[in-house]
Amino acid sequence: MNTKPDPQFLIIETGQPVASMRRHGRFPHWIRVAAGLRADQATVVNVEAGDPLPGHAGYAGVLITGSGAMVTDRHGWSERTADWLRDGLDAGLPVFGICYGHQLIAHALGGEVGDNPTGREMGTVPVELHPEAAQDLLFAPLPTRFAAQVTHLQTVLRPPADAAVLARSEQDACQAFRWRDHAWGVQFHPEFSASHMRGYVHARRDALQREGRCHRRMAKDVKPTPAARGVLRRFVRHAATLRGH
């Protein structure tokens, strides 16, 4: 009889959804459901609210949420989390960062984060894989072009040393990277459903209008992105394997 416990994951919460979407729960819930994890397999630490980070031991992997904050603001909670991540990554802890989490990993490892020179990227966009993705455990199963949900103003301008850039979009040269063999960052949101994405587009309608963009057309073009979600699920399976589960 197999009595090995199920792998446990730590979800680092770095922000909250826009107000109009909070009725659907917080980011950790969206990520846990998209990743296929049960509630008892995930521990949530809200670092933005001041929760202390636990020790690194005992987790199969770490998932880092998105945020309305900016990595370049160097908030105390964000810098402490970056330090914690750097120590964990150096020790081989599997980590997967989404949007802000993607940028925070890059920052923690010596990369550069800043305003996206092409401006706001939002909606369902095509993402194109680089040749390096063909050898990547999470990205190799994907077609060379796939759809993903995005909403961000900042980006990874320079990935960290030892990182392989895996994907790009028209507005972002670093949609995904892998660091060594156990850490990934994705600028896109694999946890977003089409409903989540449309909700974000409507919440940003005034900003989009100021930028000369039509939120109605953007919302109409939103579609499901199962290929992007598969990346998150493969990380969970891979992390459990790496940690002996």
4 within some domain: no
pTM: predicted TM-score of the whole model, two decimal places: 0.96
Rounded CA-CA distance 122/188 in Å is 10
| Residue 174 a catalytic site member | no
Q: Assign residue 51 the CATH number of its domain.
A: 3.40.50.880
Per-residue pLDDT tens for 61-108? 999 999 999 999 999 999 999 999 999 999 999 999 999 999 999 999
CB burial of 43-74 (b: ≥16 within 10 Å; e: otherwise) equals ebbbbbeeeebeebeebbbbbbbbbebbbeee
Q: Catalytic one among 99, 102, 107, 238? A: 99
Which of 121, 191, 196, 238 is labelled catalytic? Answer: 191
User: In terms of residue numbers, what domain contains 135?
Assistant: 9-242
Q: CA quadruple 157, 235, 90, 15: dihedral positive or negative?
A: positive
Is 132 a catalytic site residue?
no
pLDDT of residue 2: 53
**What is the count of structural domains for the chain?**
1
Q: Give the pLDDT confidence of 167-226 residue by residue, as tens digits.
A: 999 999 999 999 999 999 999 999 999 999 999 999 999 999 999 999 999 999 999 999
Mean pLDDT of the chain: 96
- 1 pLDDT band, cuts 50/70/90, is very low
User: Quick check: is 65 in a domain?
Assistant: yes
